Chain A
């Protein structure tokens, strides 16, 4: 399983902060995002914005980073703390 986390406004589009998907051969964050396009077009549009960063196991990575079983993939909109 891959744990998905959607923070900030992305959670509203995803219907919650946390979700999970099955692991698969050759999976990347871009493939996970594109896989959401059909069933969750609004979420897909939000994830496609250039300011959205992604982290894999709490490290910022690129959209083509390989994802292995058991990983935690988080989608991070621009931060607004402080």
Chain B
């Protein structure tokens, strides 16, 4: 399987990433793409900006582990994970997960698994600026629950 993991400050191009996944192999019958964007609200208050911190080296290893687990669970041809870091503004793209497979069920499920695990295991931390006040975002129980259900499937 082909996997690409990138952590970058600059934006990503959805069409270019899709083309790469589409052209991995002529056996690709489906490509599922997920993108995460910066919401303008955090706890019902508007944000000016969001800053993403990560642990260089460890984050890439953890993402690779997540992708490797997905490959073991589903029949996949290619996986791309891109996560941006640094300062982002509302509506900016944060995260890209693209999965190419022969059949759609594998790609749909694997994309959801990668996102659920990324949100609870990969070493990223968000800080938001709300009216000049900066504070770190707290983790959500709902993200833990989403991740846990895959573990329960084992």
Contacts and interface: CB of A to CB of B under 8 A. Distances in A.
Interface of A: 5, 7-9, 12, 17, 51, 55, 58, 74, 76-82
A81 B139 CA distance: 9
B55 A7 contact: yes
Of the candidates A76, A77, A78, A81, the one having the most CB atoms from chain B within 10 angstroms of its own CB is: A81
Interface in B17-44: 36
Nearest to A74: B55
Of the candidates B58, B118, B119, B122, the one having the most CB atoms from chain A within 10 angstroms of its own CB is: B58
A81 B124 contact: yes
Contacts of B150: none
B83 A81 contact: yes
In terms of DSSP, what is the predominant structure of the interface of chain A? loop
B118 A7 contact: no
A79 B83 CA distance: 14
Contacts of A82: 36, 83, 94-95, 115, 118-119, 122, 124, 143
Contacts of B143: 82
B48 interface: no
23 contacts: A7-B125, A8-B125, A8-B127, A17-B53, A58-B57, A76-B55, A78-B138, A78-B139, A79-B121, A79-B122, A79-B139, A80-B119, A80-B126, A80-B136, A80-B138, A81-B52, A81-B54, A81-B95, A81-B118, A81-B123, A81-B126, A82-B94, A82-B95
A55 B122 CA distance: 13
B140 to A, nearest CB: 8
Contact of B136 (A9, A55, A58): A9
Contacts of B83: 81-82
Nearest to B36: A82
Interface in B100-144: 115, 118-127, 136-139, 143
| Nearest 3 pairs of A and B residues by beta carbon | A81-B124, A78-B139, A8-B125
